[in-house]
Amino acid sequence: LQDGSGLSIASGCSVLLPEVNGQSRTGALCYGIASQRFTHSTVHLNLGVGLDREHDWQRSAGLIVEGPAEWAVRPVTEFLAARDNAGGYTNSALIGVIWQARENLAFDFAIRGGRTDGEELHEVRLGLTWAFSTKH
């Protein structure tokens, strides 16, 4: 969102490394993200494609809604749907909070529930975002 107005576009890619006691193969995921800040919320639409560790194509769509950006602690919710060519799927919802501790430091906590390939999915997520500038 870069402290500007209007729609923001971003992309990101990640590599799935082999698991310690599981899958020995790698994979990769890439996302396109469109974000818009409104008076009372920020909305992010994420669309992704990639190869999982079994090398099946995977595609996903997610919608994230955050509370007002000026709140030090703001609520967040996410809805996610993912499919792969082998017939696997994940549908989930997340609810949590983001604490903006400082301008360049935020912590987040969330709980996710849903179904993946017919089985229940439960997650607790903790994270941090540390921002820094490369300008001198």
Residues 107-122 have pLDDT tens digits of 999 999 999 999 999 9
pLDDT digits (tens, 9 = 90+) for 28-38: 999 999 999 99
Q: 89 with 80: CB under 8 angstroms?
A: no
Place of tokens 């919608």: 63
Residues 6+ apart with CB under 8 A from 136: none
Is-contact 11 30, C-beta < 8 A? yes
Q: Using CA atoms, how far apart are residues 119 and 132, in angstroms rounded to an integer?
A: 40
CA-CA distance, 37 to 43, in Å (whole number)? Answer: 6
Q: What is the pTM of this model?
A: 0.84
Q: Quote the tokens at residue 93.
A: 């919802």
